[in-house]
Structure 1
Amino acid sequence: MAPSSLVERRTIDVVPESERHGTPLNQFTLWFGANMQITAVVNGALAVVFGADPLWAVVGLLAGNLLGGAVMALHSAQGPRLGLPQMISSRAQFGVFGAVVPLLLVILMYLGFAATGTVLAGQAVNEIAHTDSRPVGIIVFGALTAVVAVLGYRYIHALGRAATVLGVVGFTYLMIRLVATHDIGGMFGAKPFNTATFLLAISLGAGWQLTFGPYVADYSRYLPRTTSPRTTFHCTLWGSVIGSQWAMVFGVMLAALPARSGGFLDNQVGFMGDLGGSGAVAMLVYLVIIVGKLTINTLNAYGGFMSILTTVSAFTSGRRVSRAARTLYIVGFLVLSMLVALLASADFLDNFKNFVLTLLMVFTPWSAINLVDYYLISRERIDIPALYDPSGRYGRWNAVALGCYVVGIVAQIPFLSQTLYTGPVTKALDGADLSWIVGLVLTAAIYYPLARPRSKAPAEMIYPDGFEAATPQPAA
């Protein structure tokens, strides 16, 4: 473990101005690097696998990434003003205990993504190590994730910058190789426009971006309070959208290859390595895969730790934990994810991944409530000390927010298009998935008129006592 001076000291407590650092550009590189990775490539490929023409798949994915990216970037813009992790701030809407309800589902999502991502990255580790031992790759990758997540915020952003550079170089090379060896242009526009598959491509892009909502502000909360929310918004938006769209377009191209050249979805890591070439070049491709997956897996581990601590602290009224406890939370979460990755069968992992994707329906209503309350009702005025006090301004439970949240989830069921369940409206629309639109729009429409008259927002922002006078500490 790194020396204690290197390890982040803040957790779910507010970050004082004396410890703020960085620029919004760090948001661009973090989210660009986190999205330039193999799972985003698979997400883009699915648009073609499900029947979309490559041309309209690219257009639909871009529309979805922009729409979903705007929602997640609005969450990111909260970070500098509040100095808080994302899910702590949702106590202002749901109540100190009420916020635990979406939190439990968020933790499950992080666990699922961490486990399935570890399996994928472990394959790339094994290729570099020249071993067929599945546990070796999983354990090595899990250990790498633990190191960065324990070190914390500053090192996560440093990893994002490295992933950005490697991602640009690696994916540029792979796309040049792909275009040089296949007639890519002839694959676009071969099929007529189809509304259902176009809407599905939009949903794939939007759903991808919306999964970042519950933890995006965790990585902007150290920015100085004077940082422009608009600048934070745009740096987060364009980093996430450009990185994900680039990777997804590459996935579209791979999925559009003739059947004799295909096989990407059956052997994603190996296919990309073979496309890169042999020897040292293939090893570099595997390194690009590992660093990209390490970035997003670290975000899952860090976000999972934050969510677990936020859940526990709701009932203990705690704000901070020791570095040792923080390390144990993170390592424990990652050990659990590695056990799932090691012990589960391939069928279980596929089913678990589908279950996690179905859970996406719980995040759109949460985003709608959080954003409507913060920007339109509270107007960026939060009583931060009350977020830690069940007897304070925001109380234990907020029946209005929880009720709207449940309605927003239930209303999406007829519109779902997932492996585990397809709703009747979706079937009538030939598979077009509109659930995320319903979850956002309907929840916002019913929450605003019900919550506005009952607003608990203070007249101005309230920070903890001594917030400005905090003793300067080494940057996290």
Structure 2
Amino acid sequence: MKSNAQHSASQAAAKGNLDIEGRSIDFVPEHERTDKLSTQGPFWFVGNFTFFTMTIGFVGPSVGLSSLWTTIAGTLGIMFGTLFMAFHGSQGPHLGLPQMIQSRAQFGYRGVVLVLLATLFVFAGFNIVNLVLMMQGLNTLFQWGPLQVGLAVTVPATILAILGHDWMHKTFKWSLFLSLPLYGIVTLAVLLGWIQDAPLAANVPAAAPLGFTWIGFIAQFAAGASYNIAYAPYVSDYSRYLPKNTPSGKLIAAVFLGASLSGAWMIAVGGWLGEHLHATDVLVALNSVGASFAPQLGSVVVAVTILAFLPVIAMNIYSAKLTAITGVDSFRKVNPTATVRIWAILFVVCLQLGVAMSIYTSGSGLSVLNIYLVVMLYFLVPWTAVNLTDYFFVRRGRYAIPHFFLPHDNLYGHWGRRGLLAYLIGFLAMIPFFTIFNGPQEVFVGPLARMIGSVDLAWLVGLIVSGIAYYLLCLSLDLDKEEAVIRHIEQHSPQYTTGEGW
């Protein structure tokens, strides 16, 4: 039953007033699902249409790939990662739940905390890396202090995250209008040769020509794949307001096309900047591109770049907030009010800003980017394999939704032994294949990875092993018992029905 506060917030949003979203981790009933399928493609296009995605294209040149091979490897990686992201998106309208609440079916009411910690690391980590990149770039260009940058970025993003779901979609549309002309001009400048290659600095020997290496190709592929697999825990958060009868195939296609097209585009531009401008700071590189047209245009390019990026910062805060609330709710029941959302958002923002300041001060900001992207992939791969295997092959979209919110005597238990064991089996199987580099410097290479030339296949091993392990462990699952409970819910509380399959 919707509370008065939630009802007022929904009515105000419908009238276009500046009000905040009333829901957080709770179920979205059908009469509140006013989103349209047509918004999903542009929304996820903008999510990747950012300066940060360009930095994924820096990986290739840093490990010996030319911009052409960087584009090919990055595009294939983005497409691979987006497949998982897009399939998760179909769960939103079908269940009307945030992604991590649904994960209680696989990992248990409390056991889900294991994957919540991994996903919170991803959400917070994205914003921390983004903030450090902006602090470095704006300090180099305009001598802004890190606290100035942090506040200038996080305050408006925090307000947007507090306003919630509907305003997030609106500002993503505005961001597209800002960024499309900007990155269109940058791309034209690259394609038409309007920008000259940057000369090497004095006393710096010429590097070997960039070309193709298998290690570099797999590293760039993994960076692209991890970037969009990292969106997997987000997608249902922004598709759960779609009507229940939204066609899954069309939704999956919309998310896939939107996120993969913009991701491939930005990685290609980043690869060119990395090879030809020797870029290591993307904002400085974009300033150089703008200044090559007119002296003050560089500053305009940087300003528009950051302004268009604010909704993405807000998106990370929004999903991190849902994850934090779910974690607390797993051990102490939370009333999912707007006030709880606001406090969770403020906690997440303070945490992100504090860690970003610490990393910036240490001077190791950009050097953690490659490591972060790879480690992020390692944490998320077993979860996405277990979750999708459960949704599409084990339970086939049939869930007892009210039981996700029952602390005791719920259908899925406190600790989902099958999901937790499959996650751990998959993660342990990945460790011998771990391949973590900081540029050319080795950080950790597992023994089996070393035997195959330090090619990173850990993510592939994790996907296969976790998915198969979970499926086999679920052969003993009493699905008939679950189906009886679900049918009882459908008869007595039909608003929670999950329909037949996906």
TM-score w.r.t. the length of structure 1 is 0.89
Alignment of 1:354-433 (within 5 A): 354=371, 357-389=374-406, 390-419=408-437, 420-433=443-456
Pick the aligned partner of 2:273 from 235, 249, 254: 254
2:52 maps to 39
**Contact 1:31 / 1:240 at 8 angstroms: preserved in 2?**
yes
Compared CA separation, residues 248 and 57, structure 1 to 2 (3 A):
same
Q: Deviations over 1:365-407 (max 9, x none)?
A: 1001100111111011110011122421101112121111001
Aligned equivalents of 2:471, 2:256: Cα separation in 1? 25
Say whether 1:77 aligns with 2:90: yes
Pick the aligned partner of 1:195 from 211, 214, 218: 214
2:228 maps to 209
Say whether 1:438 aligns with 2:469: no
2:297 partner letter: V
Alpha-carbon deviation of 1:198? 2.1
Aligned equivalents of 2:238, 2:490: Cα separation in 1? 20
Q: Deviations over 1:322-366 (max 9, x none)?
A: 222211110121012112222342445457653574143121110
**Contact 1:124 / 1:269 at 8 angstroms: preserved in 2?**
yes
Alpha-carbon deviation of 1:220? 0.3
Aligned equivalents of 2:140, 2:295: Cα separation in 1? 11
| The 10-residue stretch of structure 1 (301-310 or 58-67) with the greater mean CA deviation from structure 2 | 58-67
1:449 maps to 472
Aligned equivalents of 2:87, 2:146: Cα separation in 1? 40
| The 10-residue stretch of structure 1 (385-394 or 218-227) with the greater mean CA deviation from structure 2 | 385-394
Pick the aligned partner of 1:232 from 219, 242, 251: 251
Pick the aligned partner of 1:163 from 175, 183, 188: 175
Higher relative contact order at CA 8 Å, sep ≥6: structure 1 or structure 2?
1
**Contact 2:435 / 2:449 at 8 angstroms: preserved in 1?**
yes
> For 2:454, what is the secondary structure of its paired residue?
coil
TM-score w.r.t. the length of structure 2 is 0.84
**Contact 2:226 / 2:373 at 8 angstroms: preserved in 1?**
no
Pick the aligned partner of 2:304 from 276, 282, 288: 288
Say whether 1:304 aligns with 2:317: no
Pick the aligned partner of 2:145 from 118, 121, 133: 133
Aligned equivalents of 1:110, 1:352: Cα separation in 2? 16
**Contact 1:122 / 1:141 at 8 angstroms: preserved in 2?**
no
1:9 maps to 22
Question: Percent of aligned positions with the same letter in both sequences?
Answer: 27
2:342 maps to 327
Structure 2, unmatched stretches of 5+, are 1-7, 13-18, 198-208, 438-442, 497-502
**Contact 2:97 / 2:240 at 8 angstroms: preserved in 1?**
yes
| The 10-residue stretch of structure 1 (230-239 or 278-287) with the greater mean CA deviation from structure 2 | 278-287
1:288 partner letter: V
1:332 partner letter: F
| The 10-residue stretch of structure 1 (148-157 or 54-63) with the greater mean CA deviation from structure 2 | 54-63
Aligned equivalents of 1:54, 1:464: Cα separation in 2? 58
Q: CA RMSD for the aligned pairs? A: 2.5
1:474 maps to none
> For 1:421, what is the secondary structure of its paired residue?
strand
Aligned equivalents of 2:175, 2:263: Cα separation in 1? 13
> For 2:23, what is the secondary structure of its paired residue?
coil
**Contact 2:133 / 2:365 at 8 angstroms: preserved in 1?**
no
Alpha-carbon deviation of 1:57? 2.1
Compared CA separation, residues 153 and 430, structure 1 to 2 (3 A):
same
| The 10-residue stretch of structure 1 (194-203 or 400-409) with the greater mean CA deviation from structure 2 | 194-203
Alpha-carbon deviation of 1:193? 4.5
Q: Deviations over 1:173-201 (max 9, x none)?
A: 112223333579xxxxx766433322222
Compared CA separation, residues 207 and 91, structure 1 to 2 (3 A):
same
| The 10-residue stretch of structure 1 (25-34 or 51-60) with the greater mean CA deviation from structure 2 | 51-60
Compared CA separation, residues 223 and 181, structure 1 to 2 (3 A):
same
Compared CA separation, residues 116 and 193, structure 1 to 2 (3 A):
closer
1:169 partner letter: P
2:343 partner letter: L
Alignment of 1:147-186 (within 5 A): 147-179=159-191, 180-182=193-195
1:143 maps to 155
> For 1:11, what is the secondary structure of its paired residue?
coil
Say whether 1:93 aligns with 2:111: no
**Contact 1:110 / 1:303 at 8 angstroms: preserved in 2?**
yes
